[in-house]
């Protein structure tokens, strides 16, 4: 299989491999133990039709579509015409099939993607851990490949999507990011996860968690693949300037985001800063005490709790026993929020964003660890609610800052060879997506050069 989506597309366009062959490789990977529980449903026939269309276009001398009949998984949060959208739940298994594709699915299909299957997820997308008691929990592929026999969490909520890409069952994964649900599983499995400014991609046809924070985006293997997927999902062209790192100014957030780092994460993060500094980037300490205000701002509840409660309250009234009890517990926090609490939360967020924008003026991006810990074992969290909620809070702690900022962010693998995955997060205020992606390409190149120099 080609290393990434764009390389695979070039194979199809050049005729060195067919889309059908590449899809067969993905389907074979989907049948292997590494992809166990990654999908709730495979769509081999429909995917094969898209691959054939790409191959026929190439044979006829016609332009090959942007996604060239290549395999993309679809988080089971998005409507796919003719199928039931369960959102990782038992509650919705008997719901009516969707009559139309979600907007994001339609754009992928129009771009020629082979929609290989619906990927598993945290129930209703409400956790960064990735455990699903209804459809099974896919294990972390990256840690298993290092010879670690202990099944570790995939990260959530786009758990199956990340596993589909890490295992080779898909070349990219459509998912969502409300508080980190793209970036967390990408970071824990050595992948790239780009969270665009929320308004750039349509959420129509995706089951909501938080209508305020939900973002439609993707997990890929490389930054250039992230650019391609964003162009498809946002229906816009990304403008890349090719700016060198020596033209970049980065802030390093110390408040909250570097508290209690696992030593392996701290080492990888510090080594990444050193690499970027040696490449000529300007790196400055950035206090950002505003981040410390977020706990107090959400003391009476979060956007996700309030807005999920509004959506789920009738289902919970009659079917709470069918929910993952941890998900139901988090949703019910919204039940205790008053209208005044919710209005205050919106107002406080707007004021906080103004101060954050002022603090970040002049920086191309902020650098932070994506998550403060490596992937813990699944077994230690499945039966221990206290451990689960503690870990979930840690996983979401850094990434949620960007969602509340209405910003954009990307996570890149930055660990040393042979060590568990660690994510380096670059983030910025909203609508700086193109500059962020441009900068991420340069950062990725520097990190890859460091890896090659040490192997």
From 75, 89, 210, 248, the catalytic residue? 75
Nearest-10 Cα torsion for 224, 229, 231, 235: 180
Q: How far apart are the first and last CA of the chain?
A: 23
Whole-angstrom distance, CA of residue 265 vs CA of residue 342 = 35
75 labelled catalytic: yes
367-398: string of b/e by CB count within 10 Å (b at 16+)? bbbbbbbbbbebeebeeeeeebbebbebbbbb
From 181, 248, 304, 368, the catalytic residue? 181
Whole-angstrom distance, CA of residue 269 vs CA of residue 454 = 16
Whole-angstrom distance, CA of residue 122 vs CA of residue 331 = 14
- C-alpha distances (whole Å) from 387 to each of 219, 258, 259 are 27, 20, 18
Query: Which positions ≥6 away from 286 have C-beta within 8 Å?
Result: 251, 252, 253, 254, 359, 360, 363, 366
Q: Is 11 helix (H, G, I), strand (E, B) or coil?
A: helix
- The H or E element that residue 74 is part of is strand 71-75
DSSP assignment of 179-232 equals SSTTHHHHHHTT-EEEE--GGGS--TTB--S-TTT--EEEEESSHHHHHHHHHH
Q: Tell me if 189 sits within 8 A of 140, measured CB to CB.
A: yes
The tokens describing 121, both together, are 């997820």
Q: Could you tell me how many residues make up the chain? A: 455
157 labelled catalytic: yes
From 65, 89, 127, 157, the catalytic residue? 157
The tokens describing 214, both together, are 């939900």
Closest C-alpha to 158, from 200, 204, 198, 127: 127
Tell how strand 172-176 and strand 192-195 pair up.
Answer: unpaired
> For the sheet containing 249-253, what is the strand order?
39-42, 114-119, 71-75, 172-176, 216-220, 192-195, 408-413, 423-428, 365-369, 249-253, 282-286
Distance from CA of residue 4 to its chain's centroid? 17
90 labelled catalytic: no
Where in the sequence numbering do the catalytic residues fall? 75, 157, 181
């Amino acid at each position: 299989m080609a290393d990434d989506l764009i390389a695979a597309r070039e194979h199809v366009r050049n005729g060195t491999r067919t889309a059908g062959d590449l899809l067969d490789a993905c389907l074979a990977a989907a049948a292997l133990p590494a992809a166990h529980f990654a999908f709730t449903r495979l769509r081999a026939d429909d995917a094969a039709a898209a691959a054939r269309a790409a191959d026929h276009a190439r044979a006829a001398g016609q332009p090959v579509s942007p996604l060239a009949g290549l395999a993309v998984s679809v988080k089971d949060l998005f409507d796919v015409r003719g199928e039931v959208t369960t959102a990782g739940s038992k509650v919705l298994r008997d719901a009516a099939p969707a009559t139309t594709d979600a907007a994001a699915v339609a754009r992928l299909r129009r771009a020629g993607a082979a929609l290989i299957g619906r990927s598993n997820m945290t129930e209703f997308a409400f956790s960064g851990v990735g455990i699903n008691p209804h459809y099974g929990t896919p294990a972390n592929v990256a840690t298993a490949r290092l010879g670690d026999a202990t099944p570790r969490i995939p990260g959530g909520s786009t758990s199956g999507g990340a596993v589909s890409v890490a295992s080779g069952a898909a070349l990219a994964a459509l998912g969502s990011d409300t508080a980190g649900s793209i970036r967390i599983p990408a970071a824990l499995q050595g992948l790239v996860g780009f969270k665009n400014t929320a308004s750039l991609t349509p959420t129509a046809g995706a089951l909501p968690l938080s209508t305020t924070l939900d973002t439609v985006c993707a997990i890929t293997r490389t930054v250039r693949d992230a650019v391609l997927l964003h162009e498809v999902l946002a229906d816009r062209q990304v403008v890349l300037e090719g700016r060198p790192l020596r033209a970049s100014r980065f802030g390093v957030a110390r408040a909250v985001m570097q508290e209690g780092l696992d030593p392996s994460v701290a080492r990888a993060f510090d080594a990444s800063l050193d690499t970027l500094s040696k490449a000529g980037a300007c790196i400055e300490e950035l206090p950002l005490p505003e981040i410390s205000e977020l706990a107090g701002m959400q003391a009476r509840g979060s956007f996700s709790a309030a807005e999920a409660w509004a959506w789920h309250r009738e289902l919970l009234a009659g079917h709470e026993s069918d929910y993952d009890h941890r998900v139901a517990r988090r949703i019910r926090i919204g039940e205790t929020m008053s209208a005044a609490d919710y209005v205050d939360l919106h107002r406080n967020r707007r004021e906080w964003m103004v101060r954050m924008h002022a603090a970040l003026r002049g920086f191309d991006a902020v650098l932070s660890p994506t998550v403060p810990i490596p992937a813990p074992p699944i077994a230690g969290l499945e039966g221990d609610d206290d451990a689960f909620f503690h870990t979930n809070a840690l996983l979401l702690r850094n990434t949620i800052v960007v969602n509340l900022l209405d910003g954009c962010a990307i996570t890149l693998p930055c660990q040393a060879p042979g060590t568990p995955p660690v994510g380096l997060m670059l983030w910025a205020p909203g609508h700086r997506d193109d500059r962020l992606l441009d900068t991420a390409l340069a950062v990725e190149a520097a990190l890859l050069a460091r890896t090659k120099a040490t192997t």
